[in-house]
Amino acid sequence: MTPNRETQEKRQHSTTWIPYSYYECKLPEWFMNVPMHWHSEFELIHVKQGRGEFICGSQKLEAGEGELLLIPPNMLHAAYPCREQRAVSEAAGCVGGEDGGSESGFEPLLYDALVFSPVMLGAGSGDRCTNECIRPIVKGNVRTNVCIRREAAVYEQAESVAARIFACVHDNSASADLLLKSELLRLIWLLEENGEIIFEKDGMEGETEAIRPALEYMAQNFREDITVEQLAELVHLSKSHFMRCFRKAVGIGAIEHLTQLRIQAACEALGDGGEQIADIAFACGYSNLSNFNRQFLKRVGCSPKEYRKRNRPSDL
């Protein structure tokens, strides 16, 4: 399935002038998680601290400090912090000490993310390198090892290249962009040479592609009343089959995913300041303020009022 413009993520990550965007992500302190989404650009992730759970297409994996992920265009992906071992022990009846863990019960996850257009790899040209090595990745006609782990033979070289890539991004100049393009191409070459990118159709779309329309619909309409029956009908599956496919692909149920989208939107609104908490709750799909407060506390680890206090811009 090729996503259309109506269902694509609305955030603009690249322009003709600067065909990439950089993000520093800190979960769950700055936002609870990165819900399932897709975009037409590549995304390079470098985990700087902690560990997280990433869903990339049909793959579910954990990545820790120093490890890299390269997500190809149009692949559905999400990021979640992992639960702390301390929280697990306390749940079992053990009392933890002052170990510096987070109040939310999740292990802090800090990573750099570079979202870049395929034009950074010369995707607009028609030479044999582009046709045989770049376009198959953009079109999804390859099997990609998304995560580059520390034990991988190519890791040291790839990590060194990634460090130069992010250094170029921070430099933020035309000359640095020139080096950035060459380092991105070097990274692709390293992965291909070491068998991390295999040029043959995977053919394992399965559950992820089956539920893509439902995920896209939820991302656009999470403020509205949405039922599992409605989503199942949208993707032409029975309710029970849809629920199995959704949980297998996303790792959680459809209603829990919908709740995460709403709480994520609420976190962003609370961080911006200004609006009343009740108005934010209603704007994010909650008709009952008490239910909103309860769901927020359960997933974020603090009340909406406390979250706003912690994340209030310094100039307010």
Lowest mean pLDDT, pick from 50-54, 121-125, 141-145, 251-255: 141-145
Q: Taking the model in full, what pTM does it have? A: 0.76
How far apart (Å, rounded) are the C-alpha atoms in residues 145 and 135? 17
Q: Domains in the chain, please, with CATH?
A: 20-198 (2.60.120.280), 207-311 (1.10.10.60)
Q: Residue length, the chain?
A: 316
Give the model confidence (pLDDT) of 268-299 as tens digits.
899 877 789 999 999 999 999 999 999 999 88
Q: Which helix (H) or strand (E) holds 120?
A: none
How far apart (Å, rounded) are the C-alpha atoms in residues 280 and 260? 15
Walk across the sheet containing 68-71 and list its strands: 20-27, 109-116, 42-49, 68-71, 147-148
- Model confidence at 206, in pLDDT bands (50, 70, 90)? low
- Confidence at residue 145, expressed as pLDDT on a 0 to 100 scale: 85
- Peptide bond preceding 213 in cis form (omega within 30 of 0): no
Residue 316: closest CA among 284, 271, 265: 271
Q: How far apart are the first and last CA of the chain?
A: 45
- Model confidence at 10, in pLDDT bands (50, 70, 90)? low
Q: Which helix (H) or strand (E) holds 94?
A: none
Residue 222 scores a pLDDT above 70: yes
For residues 284 and 223, the answer to whether their CB atoms sit within 8 Å is: yes
What rounded mean pLDDT belongs to the chain? 85
Residue 199 scores a pLDDT above 80: no
Q: Within a 13 Å sphere around the CA of 226, how many CA atoms are in the beta-carbon half?
A: 25
Residue 201 scores a pLDDT above 60: no
- Confidence at residue 87, expressed as pLDDT on a 0 to 100 scale: 47
State the virtual CA torsion across 57, 60, 63, 67 in degrees, nearest 10.
-40
The b-or-e profile of 132-170 (16+ CB within 10 A means b, else e) is ebbbbbbebebebbbbbeeebebbebbbebbebbbebbe
- Confidence at residue 224, expressed as pLDDT on a 0 to 100 scale: 94
- Confidence at residue 289, expressed as pLDDT on a 0 to 100 scale: 94
Output the CA–CA distances (angstroms, integers) from residue 177 to 129, 170, 313, in the order listed.
21, 10, 31
- Model confidence at 6, in pLDDT bands (50, 70, 90)? very low
Lowest mean pLDDT, pick from 190-194, 221-225, 249-253: 249-253
SS3 label, residue 275: coil
Which residues share a beta bridge with 148? Answer: 68
- Confidence at residue 155, expressed as pLDDT on a 0 to 100 scale: 97
Please state, for a pLDDT cut of 70, what percent of the chain lies above it.
85
Task: Give the distance between the most distant pair of CA atoms in the chain.
Answer: 63
Structure tokens at 9: 């993520």
Lowest mean pLDDT, pick from 89-98, 110-119, 159-168, 261-270: 89-98
Residue 89 scores a pLDDT above 60: no
Q: Higher confidence at residue 26 or residue 6?
A: 26
- Confidence at residue 313, expressed as pLDDT on a 0 to 100 scale: 57
State the virtual CA torsion across 198, 190, 51, 99 in degrees, nearest 10.
160
